[in-house]
A and B are shown apart, each in its own frame.
Chain A
Amino acid sequence: MALKIVKGSIDRMFDKNLQDLVRGIRNHKEDEAKYISTCIDEIKQELKQDNIAVKANAVCKLTYLQMLGYDVSWAAFNIVEVMSSSKFTYKRIGYLAASQCFHEGTDVIMLTTNQIRKDLSSPNQYDTGVALTGLSCFVTPDLARDLANDIMTLMSHTKPYIRKKAVLIMYKVFLKYPESLRPAFPRLKEKLEDPDPGVQSAAVNVICELARRNPKNYLSLAPLFFKLMTSSTNNWVLIKIIKLFGALTPLEPRLGKKLIEPLTNLIHSTSAMSLLYECVNTVIAVLISLSSGMPNHSASIQLCVQKLRILIEDSDQNLKYLGLLAMSKILKTHPKSVQSHKDLILQCLDDKDESIRLRALDLLYGMVSKKNLMEIVKKLMLHVDKAEGTTYRDELQHTCNTKLCNCSTLILLRYISILVELTRLEGTRHGHLIASQMLDVAIRVKAIRAFAVAQMAMLLDNAHLLTGNMQRNGICEVLYAAAWICGEFSEHLEDPNQTLEAMLRPKVATLPGHIQAVYVQNAAKLFATVLRKHEGATDSQAAQETSQLLVERLPLFVQSANLEVQERASCILQLVKYIQKLQQKDVEVAEEVSALFAGELNPVAPKAQKKVPVPEGLDLDAWINEPPSESESEDEKPKAVFAKEETKHSRPRHTEVDEKELARRREARKQEQANNPFYIKSSPSSQKVYQDAPGVEHIPVVQIDLSVPLKVPGMPMSDQYLKLEEERRQKEKAEKKKKEKKKKREKHGKGKKHDSGPESEEDITPAHHVDIVTEEMPENALPSDDDDKDPNDPHKVYDIQGNLQDGSQVVVSVIFENKSDSFLKSMEFNVLDSLNSKLQRPEGAGPHDGLVVPFQLPPGVSNEARFIFSVQSIVMPQKLKGTLTFIVKSEDSSTHEKLDFKLHFTCTSYLITTPCYSDAYAKLLESGDLKSSSLRLEGVNMPFHHLLARICFHHHFSVVERIDSCASMYSRSIQGHHVCLLVKTADQTVSIDAKCDEPSLLGNVLDEIKQTFSQC
């Protein structure tokens, strides 16, 4: 033994310490990777030694390597070893390594719970401190649940150093384990008035963060914070408090009024720019939330604008940027106050920092008025030429395009030329926008048509200049407008022949279909104009040449793959051929051809339809046909499922209906939405529905809660769905399905049973079973988790306010099989409740009492028992520890035995196979309320339908639609979350794009799917 120690310390002399490692890396710049791999080999050797000092040194080096991006996850267990050293130096190294390397997926974290608990309660405050710091980085939901109480106790530690840390870490604990918020909140609130200012500010920090997520619940603390604000001198704390008020005022306008005065005082007095900026921002927010009517409003706004001007004028770029940012907020409600600083903002366009230019442009966009338009346009045009940076230039063009119109003709002339100039710039994304603006202006304003037509003709003629990069940039959309304008207003053309020729060039065929179609149609219009011109001059030769040109060129379009182009082209070709014949007979045709395109297109005012009188005898409210029973989404356009589609250029013409009709329709739609389980309402409205639910007003309003895990958008919907479900259940079909499902589950459970081989009673080694589904179970029990939401659950209202008694229920059916030769009786089933999941016990039973299993088991017999759990949050998988106690009765003796097990509630087990129609599915995806995530599986070697079947079976999905090697799937959680998958496969790689209204649930389900496939 002694020799070993000596040997150990001699070895140590040759070990590298951290300094050597760092130096070594610096000296091996060329072959760093190789050097590090030898170092890692050495470290592996060092970790094998018993000497803790050597291990700590090795772990310290690993932490450094981890920072440089090397994988050290293999050493997780060694890190835990070092963490549990009793010597502070090593402990600290261990915790540092853990905080850098551990994450929720690290499985050894489970082993640390007791060590951390020990360190937290250590008499040495530095042990406690180091444990808290480490915990803040790697806390997992499990750790949070197990240690919440310990940390809560530390919030009242005698040392402010520890109190402060504990308070801050509680925030992380709340995030991971929201149930802890309610019991911990009173103490947290208490800490706002802690004698130590550091602890106070920590509490302010935590509450501000919580309030930012869910401000409503923290309104009651406003007076306390108000007191803190007027008394505190710590700028950091002030900033946090003021930010908090910024979040609260929209909910309580009276608060805003009270705030204005102290805030303006601070603005006047403070020298700290960060505080000044926060005050200005909050004042702006307050003023926006207050409806006007307060006399000293304008004074406050003036003060803000003045201060912001000082910021913008400052030579510090940061202040300039922030000043502009805040200014744009004022602009929305008080444009006049900002407009007077136009000069300053125009100057900022010359700034070297692109982000400042973008901000300035943003402001200008909102400032344009009739008076200052020309000046701003001039300035902007100068900038378009020299603008650098694509974002900036796009932004610039966008501003020009959308904002600077609606004015006099003179300006419009200029505008057209601006638009034309804009098209010359490469790399714009706004081709489409420019096109629609051109059309708009040309149609609306007669006076400028001639000018516009001339410009457009020029554009058509030079189309080849644009086409170089057109496919990429969509600038070719401009040609769409150009062709149409030239055709429609062809009387203004100077040389229609040339334009006609330009429109029929072979290169046109490379343009997108819809543009070609416009080309063809307008070529015909031009042709009519040309004919008329020539017949007027009795120049039949020229007219015939033109016909010939069309006859030669049009076949190109007749061959087009685009139906529209083809149709129009062949139609017009025949027409021209006919005209050609007539021309050869010297018949005058120009008048008749022009008549084809007679009549002028006028812009229609959006309200025009309203002015059309309803014809007598027409009842708009009457149904034309019987109302369709299920019209869920017939009026919806089908959209691409997972890809966002850009809005196309169709301008919808609204048909106006009277108020009554509108109200009626709205009502009908609401009704329909309410009955549609797949319709997800936007969260504010769902919340409203929620508040309207009966019974909720009776809940005492002490609203403290983390919004994130508890707010379940669409939740009320699923309740109503349940009601519907019950009605529907009477139908046979649903009944059948339900039965089928149950059968399947049971089968599933039994299938597992065969996995566990028969074992004799002596071999029982309980207590180490990690997972009942995957792990082998010894002899006599085989719990299999199964779940089913009880549709008759009387607690239909899921309480967002945090009234947590009414959660979801999960029924777990456990099959007990006696594989021993003895008789088993007096079985008691017990589970250690977590705050999230609780076993429902009969009234009067304590929280730790077990449930009696209502049967006895003779040898070789199996039976099933059901247990009900109430579950709060289903977004995370859970493992519950439990024990089964029973009496083994053999012929001459009876012994009391115990069996430990774990119940694994996977996220999948919260999903219910729910059929979904493809239109409802599309609507769901369109709603935009879903978060997306994706997964790739490599090397999956199975037919696609097997793959789908596997997902359906193991993860409770149903296939919505399948096309070739692509399928959409749907499932719904017991709390009404929608989970949508798009599964695609291509040579052994499967990609799954998924969407769900609860991102963490989705992540966990995807992980479980991944696991399913990694096992095969």
Chain B
Amino acid sequence: TIRFILIQNRAGKTRLAKWYMQFDDDEKQKLIEEVHAVVTVRDAKHTNFVEFRNFKIIYRRYAGLYFCICVDVTDNNLAYLEGIHNFVEVLNEYFHNVCELDLVFNFYKVYTVVDEMFLAGEIRETSQTKVLKQLLMLQSLE
């Protein structure tokens, strides 16, 4: 299962933090910093997986943003790597060529996207069309 999802930029600013496990606030900040430290030192030659505490982090870099998913060690690395890509494709479609500023100014919408695709630490929906349709419905309710 997914323990948390983080989107950070290269400077370590959090762009999204979704927790599927209970941590207190200090612990969350510590985790955010640790993940940043672990992930940003790696370059393209490295694998997209890092062992992290008792878990592992599957991450992918898009431009200046790191999309990190922390999962159990027994989980399938490649599946979650594809999961990240799927998520980014949905964001891209939803925001029409997504960029970092989109995520910053619409941070609550990004949470909505996350909630449509992941729930309670599981991948909930993988079909991009279904997710986008649902997102548009939700937007129309605003």
Contacts and interface: CB of A to CB of B under 8 A. Distances in A.
A353 B47 contact: yes
Interface extent on A, as a size class?
35 or more
A89 B76 contact: no
A168 B122 contact: yes
A470 B13 CA distance: 42
A67 B47 contact: no
Interface string B103-128: 01101100110010001111111100
Interface stretch (A202-210, A559-567, A809-817): A202-210
Interface in B78-119: 78-79, 81-82, 104-105, 107-108, 111-112, 115, 119
Given A19-B105, A137-B19, A274-B79, A71 B119 contact: no
Interface stretch (A4-12, A316-324, A401-409, A684-692): A316-324
Nearest to A277: B78
Given A168-B124, A202-B122, A205-B122, A318 B49 contact: yes
Contact of B141 (A69, A126, A164, A239): A126
A89 B141 contact: yes
Interface string A136-153: 110000000000000000
Contacts of B16: 67
Given A168-B124, A243-B76, A278-B76, A67 B17 contact: yes
Contacts of B134: 161
Interface in A7-46: 18-19, 22
Contact of B48 (A68, A171, A318): A318
A63 B108 contact: yes
B108 A93 contact: yes
Given A161-B134, A165-B119, A318-B47, A67 B107 contact: yes
Contacts of A105: 24
Given A212-B74, A236-B123, A318-B47, 16 more contacts: A67-B17, A67-B107, A69-B28, A88-B141, A88-B142, A96-B112, A105-B24, A126-B141, A168-B124, A205-B123, A209-B122, A236-B126, A274-B76, A322-B77, A353-B46, A355-B47
Interface of B: 1, 13-14, 16-17, 19-20, 22-25, 28-29, 32, 45-51, 74, 76-79, 81-82, 104-105, 107-108, 111-112, 115, 119-126, 130, 134, 137-138, 141-142
Interface in A159-211: 161, 164-165, 168-169, 171-172, 198, 202, 205-206, 209
A352 interface: yes
A355 B57 CA distance: 13
Interface string A55-73: 0000010011001110101
A356 interface: yes
A136 B124 CA distance: 13
Interface in A312-353: 317-318, 320-322, 352-353
A277 B78 CA distance: 8
B76 A352 contact: no
Contact of A73 (B25, B76, B123): B25
A67 B119 CA distance: 19
5 contacts: A105-B24, A126-B137, A136-B119, A198-B130, A317-B47
A64 B23 CA distance: 18
A679 to B, nearest CB: 28
Given A67-B107, A96-B108, A317 B46 contact: yes
A133 interface: yes
A737 interface: no
A73 B122 CA distance: 27
A239 B77 CA distance: 11
Contact of A239 (B46, B79, B112): B79
Contacts, number: 124
Nearest to B104: A22
B14 A236 contact: no
Nearest to A247: B74
A318 B77 contact: yes
Contacts of A64: 107
A550 B109 CA distance: 82
Given A22-B104, A165-B119, A103 B24 contact: yes
Contact of A318 (B13, B23, B81, B138): B81
Contacts of A89: 141-142
A385 interface: no
B120 A274 contact: no
Interface of A: 18-19, 22, 60, 63-64, 67-69, 71, 73, 88-89, 92-93, 96, 100, 103-105, 126, 133, 136-137, 161, 164-165, 168-169, 171-172, 198, 202, 205-206, 209, 212, 234-236, 239, 243, 272-274, 277-278, 317-318, 320-322, 352-353, 355-356
B108 A172 contact: no
A136 B77 CA distance: 24
Contacts of A88: 141-142
B26 to A, nearest CB: 9
A198 B77 contact: no
A171 B45 contact: no
B17 to A, nearest CB: 6
Contacts of B104: 22
A317 B125 CA distance: 28
A93, A133, A273: residue with the most chain B Cβ atoms closer than 10 Å: A133
Given A60-B108, A104-B22, A355-B47, A274 B78 contact: yes
B122 A206 contact: yes
A169 B22 contact: no
Contacts of A60: 108
Given A63-B108, A88-B141, A165-B119, A277 B125 contact: no
A133 B24 contact: no
Given A93-B108, A161-B134, A69 B32 contact: yes
A133 B114 CA distance: 10
B116 to A, nearest CB: 9
B79 A202 contact: no
A96 B17 CA distance: 12
Nearest to A238: B79
A321 B22 contact: no
Contact of B119 (A22, A68, A168): A168
Contacts of B120: 136, 168-169, 171-172
B78 A273 contact: yes
A223 B28 CA distance: 42
Contact of A243 (B74, B115, B141): B74
Of listed B28, B115, B141, residue having the most chain A CB within 10 A = B115
Contacts of B17: 67, 100
Nearest to B108: A96
Contacts of B13: 68
A706 to B, nearest CB: 14
Contacts of A169: 119-120
A18 B76 contact: no
Q: Which of A89, A136, A353 has the most CB of B within 10 A?
A: A136
Contacts of B126: 234, 236
B111 A96 contact: yes
A588 to B, nearest CB: 67
B59 to A, nearest CB: 11
A-B residue pairs, 6 tightest by C-beta: A274-B78, A136-B120, A274-B79, A352-B45, A205-B122, A321-B47
A603 B38 CA distance: 48
A205 B76 CA distance: 13
Contacts of B45: 317, 352-353
Name the residue in B124, B125, B138 with the highest tally of chain A Cβ atoms < 10 Å from its Cβ.
B124
A133 B107 CA distance: 17
Contacts of A73: 25
Nearest to A169: B120
A18 B105 contact: yes
Contacts of A236: 79, 123, 126
